[in-house]
Structure 1
Amino acid sequence: MPNTDELKAMLDNPDDFGTFGRFVETPVEEMPPQMREAFDFTEKLRGLVPGPHKIWAANPSLLTTIAPIGAYFQTKSTLSKAEIEIATCVVCGHWRSAYSSYEHEKIAEALGKLDPANVEALIAGLPTVFDDPRQQIVYELSSTLAAARVVPQGLFRRAQQLLGDAGISDVTVLMGWFTAVSLTLMAYDVPSNATGLDQ
């Protein structure tokens, strides 16, 4: 059993932590060419290199493949920004990812289209209700899928009527996307207040 000084030294070891959770970012000016190309590609595509993208930059091929999916949801999705945040907050809360839950609580509330109490309920996994029928069906569908439940035929029909097959596909792929985001952030133990390098 380590004594108090040994335990403190173990906990204070800077090698145990990186610049973004456990991840040690490479400063832009020190990136190898392929990493820099992927980083620049993502920045041009999204206007910034957000949270998990900082980590995915360590695998440039993955980053250039996956970054367009996130950009799709920012610019071309059939879902509104509020609907995207509903499904996103359900997934972030499901995985209990500190960083993404905190970020998307702020983003969802900043939209001004979602009641903060609803956003809190989404992240906490508590029941809630939306006045907008499309928002309600996105909530019901994403909550059902996050709970690994069978989507009942009636729920599916209502989702199809309100969102269409394109919208249902958007919800499911968005949930997969944010599962990848959340698991990446959790694997690297990224805390809610992480900032990473300013680059």
Structure 2
Amino acid sequence: MPETPTFGRYAEIPFEEMSPEQQEGYRAMIESRGRLPGPTKIWVHNPRLAKVAGPFGAHFQPGRYSLSEREREIAVCVITSHWRSAYPTAAHERIAKTAGLPAAKVEAILAGLPTAFDDAREQVVYEMAVVLSAGRWVSRGMHDRAVAVLGHVGVTDVITLMGHYTSVAMTLAFYDVPDGATGMAR
């Protein structure tokens, strides 16, 4: 008989029922992240993944990378809405607005409508996210503008942030985790 789902279609494993390797992965995730949000509730099932995903995801916590919170939320909203994943898209819609992005711009991003930003960094992050999520060619002009405005550190932070949130969105979409799902208390 299948286990009862606790987080979308996923049945979380209580800590005391985890294998020793899963408990080790769980502890590594908690150590690097401080909590088990969103897809990490699912990724902890794979202890090897948990050990690398925790520190990688922690890189994108405030103050640990080169992007502002507004810039981060532009890229995250583009990629999570691209994958039509309810849980992270709704969560980051709220976070983006709290970070000070205008509601109309956030809503345009989520709907796949064009928008623009007065801040050059925010505009470049938006253009990069749209181009990359659409699987389009990065023109020489786009490349040169991004490197000039963000530098290589900022460019790689945008790219890897989008890769990370692609994994987040796809995991949560696969397990059909709805907006606001809480899962097991940990």
**Range class of TM-score, shorter chain:** over 0.9
Of 41, 60, 78, the residue aligned with 2:47 is 60
- Could you say what secondary structure the match of 1:96 adopts? coil
1:94-152 Cα offsets, whole Å, 9 max, x none, are 111011101111111122x2112211111211111112110011001110111111111
Q: Is the counterpart of residue 194 in structure 1 residue 181 in structure 2?
A: yes
2:72 aligned with 1:84: yes
TM-score using structure 1 length: 0.88
Distance (whole Å) between structure 1 residues aligned to residue 163 and residue 54 of structure 2: 14
Q: Which residue of 1 aligns with 2:130?
A: 143
Question: Percent sequence identity over matched residues?
Answer: 48
Distance in 1 (alpha carbons) for counterparts of 2:28 and 2:104 = 37
Counterpart in 1 of 2:34? 47
- The answer (yes or no) to whether the contact 1:99–1:194 under 8 Å persists in 2 is yes
Tell me if the contact between 2:71 and 2:125 (Cα under 8 Å) persists in the aligned partners: yes
Cα distance in 2 between the residues matched to 1:128 and 1:81:
18
Deviation at 1:166, TM superposition (A): 1.3
Matches for 1:44-193 after TM superposition, within 5 Å: 44-74=31-61, 75-111=63-99, 113-193=100-180
Alpha-carbon offset, residue 32 of structure 1: 2.4
| 1:44 Cα offset (Å) | 2.2
Q: What letter corresponds to residue 165 of structure 1 in structure 2?
A: H
Report which stretch shifted further, 185-194 or 137-146.
185-194
Aligned-CA RMSD value:
1.6
Moved more, 34-43 or 64-73: 34-43
Contact 1:16 1:22 in 2 (8 A): no
Q: Say which structure is richer in helix.
A: 1
Please say if 1:25 is aligned against 2:25. Answer: no
CA distance in 2, matches of 1:82, 1:30: 40
Alpha-carbon separation, structure 1, partners of 2:56 and 2:69 = 15
Unaligned runs of 5+ in 1: 1-13
Q: Is the 8 A contact 2:3 2:11 kept in 1?
A: no
Specify the structure having the higher radius of gyration (Cα).
Answer: 1
**Is structure 2 residue 17 aligned with structure 1 residue 34?**
no
- Listed one character per residue, the Cα deviations across residues 48-78 of structure 1 (whole Å, up to 9, x for unaligned) are 1111000001101101111111100114211
Distance in 1 of aligned mates of 2:3 and 2:103: 36
How far apart, CA to CA, are the structure 2 residues paired with 1:107 and 1:36? 30
3-state SS of paired residue (1:51): coil
- Matching residue's letter, 1:103: A
Provide the C-alpha distance between the structure 2 equivalents of 1:62 and 1:72, rounded to a whole number of angstroms.
Answer: 16
